[in-house]
Amino acid sequence: MNTVTRPRILVVGAGFAGVECVRRLERKLAPGEADVTLVTPFAYQLYLPLLPQVASGVLTPQSIALSLRRSKKYRTRIIPGGAIGVDLKAKVCVVRTITDQIVNEPYDYIVLAPGSITRTFDIPGLTDHAFGMKTLAEAAYIRDHVISQLDLADASQDPAERASRLQFVVVGGGYAGTETAACLQRLTHAAVKRYPRLDPSLIKWHLIDIAPKLMPELGDKLGRAAQEVLRRRGIDISLGVSIEKAAAEEVTFTDGRVVPTRTLIWTAGVVASPLIATLGAETVKGRLAVTAEMCLPGHDGVFALGDSAAVPDLAKGQEGAVCPPTAQHAMRQGRHVAENIIATLHNQPMRPYVHKDLGLVVDLGGTDAVSKPLGIELHGLPAQAVARGYHWSALRTGVAKARVMTNWMLNAIAGDDFVRTGFQARKPAKLKDFEYTDAYLTPEQVRERIEGSGRAQL
Ligand SMILES: Cc1cc2nc3c(=O)[nH]c(=O)nc-3n(C[C@H](O)[C@H](O)[C@H](O)COP(=O)(O)OP(=O)(O)OC[C@H]3O[C@@H](n4cnc5c(N)ncnc54)[C@H](O)[C@@H]3O)c2cc1C
């Protein structure tokens, strides 16, 4: 009988934060020192910043889905499923496996890195008719959907139907929305050449945001440069405007305009994963409130990081500042949490997380980009070189690097074939279908399940 009890470290989420944490633990801890387990619904780490390039067909979906099992050194036990609740007192995480079994996973240390979901508001019709841009399935779905609008408009004899199929609305002028609108506009602009029966002037992209500026974090000059690129391409930008209601065949803007469209892409920010609410702990705008060491106060062995946690931004030096939800922070926080867990296991003090933001890169497709690395403002080709160089070097595996580089080159030389795969046709495609937002337990259900373990049927 095995009487040795090793500390059990449970990492929830295989994103930027979770994977970096696991890899550092694997590297720095001897196999006998701790058992590391990872809960993840997917067998890959998604490189989210390149998602708009998948939607627009510049990259294949596989090229940004990084395998979790590439190397024999990867010895972590992986549970294929999603955490749907955590009982902090009992130190148990409730997991729904991909076969819909519900299992209790006890832990000594838990690292909460489930990331974020698309933030929605109480706008009539929004969750029924909008697509998000947060998962690989959504990006692939949107690509097929956009191409199918061209196919259907081409086949239609009805001018009103044609017009509505050829208008596209993206809400959210942050980097995700701006890149999405820019990349997809390039897709339709290039694709329409293959549809000689379609009038290219009917294709209209709208990018709207309630804020007065696009990507305010870039500063006035670069924000204006990005806006100029989009306007030049014919994208209609409306600032200070949001959505009043959405329906299957039209969207009403808050300024009263009614746009006939079958495509509403919603990228107006993110909120922490619903898993965080199952803890019943203090949050800051939905993100779990943690210390600079990324620990949950009052609960030994609980760490949270990335998009799902409000980690104090010590580098900013402002009272109450928290790190923005970016991959740049998430991956560094992942490594840092691993170090803090190792320090705890070795009875050493933990260190606070400090990282000065390196800036932002925004790929607008082709040779267009704006970036601000280390405060230096760039646009055009130099910005594009920095943007692609940064993402390329941040890809974790050599194979992913090779796939992405090959895709970029192939796309630059041969373009796109605009193939509509139809893999996901006629499947539910609402926000909750892609982001599983209704899969979680309430704090009471978690407690009931743990207390009545063995008896409780959920
Ligand atoms: C379109 C787009 C463009 C972006 N561009 C940039 C950029 O240029 N630069 C930048 O720094 N950041 C960018 N970001 C933001 C960046 O991707 C996120 O901040 C980063 O992914 C956060 O890392 P994370 O590990 O917290 O979450 P994620 O990387 O989202 O990982 C969370 C993981 O947890 C899994 N998960 C979710 N729920 C559960 C659960 N209940 N149980 C188990 N696992 C779960 C998910 O499947 C996912 O694998 C972009 C985001 C988007 C959407």
pLDDT of residue 3: 55
Q: For ligand 1, atom 39, which residue shows the shortest CA distance?
A: 114
Instruction: State the span(s) of the chain assigned CATH 3.50.50.60.
Output: 8-118+271-356+435-451
Instruction: State the span(s) of the chain assigned CATH 3.50.50.100.
Output: 120-268
Q: Is 274 in the pocket of ligand 1 (CB under 6 A)?
A: no
Q: Judge whether 349 and 202 are in contact, CB under 8 Å.
A: no
The residue to mutate among 48, 103, 323, having the most atoms of ligand 1 within 8 angstroms of its beta carbon, is 48
Q: Is 306 in the pocket of ligand 1 (CB under 6 A)?
A: yes
Ligand 1 centroid to Cα of residue 42, in Å, is: 13
Percent of the chain whose pLDDT exceeds 90: 88
Q: What is the CATH number of domain 120-268?
A: 3.50.50.100
Point out the least confidently predicted range of 111-115, 214-218, 286-290. 214-218
For the chain, the farthest-separated pair of C-alpha atoms sits apart, in whole angstroms, at 75
Superfamily of structural domain 8-118+271-356+435-451 = FAD/NAD(P)-binding domain (3.50.50.60)
Q: Judge whether 207 and 170 are in contact, CB under 8 Å.
A: yes
Q: For ligand 1, atom 35, which residue shows the shortest CA distance?
A: 13
Tell me the per-residue pLDDT of 394-416, one tens digit each, with 9 for 90 and over.
999 999 999 999 999 999 999 99
Q: Give the amino acid at 349.
A: P
Nearest to 38 by CA among 51, 49, 26: 26
Distance CA(204)–CA(188), nearest Å, equals 9
Q: Is 134 in the pocket of ligand 1 (CB under 6 A)?
A: yes
Q: Is 39 in the pocket of ligand 1 (CB under 6 A)?
A: yes
**Dihedral angle sign, alpha carbons of residues 139, 258, 216, 13:** negative
Q: How confident is the model at residue 268 (pLDDT cuts 50, 70, 90)?
A: very high
The residue to mutate among 326, 371, 441, having the most atoms of ligand 1 within 8 angstroms of its beta carbon, is 326
Nearest to 337 by CA among 42, 13, 117: 13
Ligand 1 centroid to Cα of residue 352, in Å, is: 22
φ and ψ of 209, to 5 deg: -155, 145
Q: Is 326 in the pocket of ligand 1 (CB under 6 A)?
A: yes
Nearest to 134 by CA among 162, 114, 149, 156: 114
Tell me which H or E stretch contains 169: strand 167-171
Q: Judge whether 281 and 289 are in contact, CB under 8 Å.
A: yes
pLDDT of residue 4: 65
For residue 71, give the DSSP letter: S
Helix (H, G, I), strand (E, B) or coil at 37: strand
- For 247-402, strand residue ranges (E) read 250-253, 258-260, 264-266, 270-272, 283-284, 287-289, 302-304, 309-310, 359-363, 369-373, 378-379
Q: Is 16 in the pocket of ligand 1 (CB under 6 A)?
A: yes
Q: Is 278 in the pocket of ligand 1 (CB under 6 A)?
A: no
Q: Is 42 in the pocket of ligand 1 (CB under 6 A)?
A: yes
In this prediction, residues 147-170 reach a mean pLDDT of: 96
Q: Is 133 in the pocket of ligand 1 (CB under 6 A)?
A: yes
Examine the pLDDT at 1 and tell me if it is beyond 70: no
Q: Is 165 in the pocket of ligand 1 (CB under 6 A)?
A: no
Distance CA(133)–CA(55), nearest Å, equals 9
**pTM score of the predicted model:** 0.95
Q: Where are the alpha helices (DSSP H) in 257-369?
A: 327-345
Examine the pLDDT at 200 and tell me if it is beyond 70: yes
Could you tell me if residue 212 is left (phi over 0), alpha (psi between -120 and 50 degrees) or otherwise beta? Answer: alpha
Examine the pLDDT at 455 and tell me if it is beyond 90: no
Mean pLDDT computed over every residue of the chain? 94
Ligand 1 centroid to Cα of residue 178, in Å, is: 17
Q: How confident is the model at residue 10 (pLDDT cuts 50, 70, 90)?
A: very high
- Closest atom of ligand 1 to 116 CA is 30
For residue 426, give the DSSP letter: T
Q: Is 235 in the pocket of ligand 1 (CB under 6 A)?
A: no
Ligand 1 centroid to Cα of residue 341, in Å, is: 22
In this prediction, residues 318-329 reach a mean pLDDT of: 94
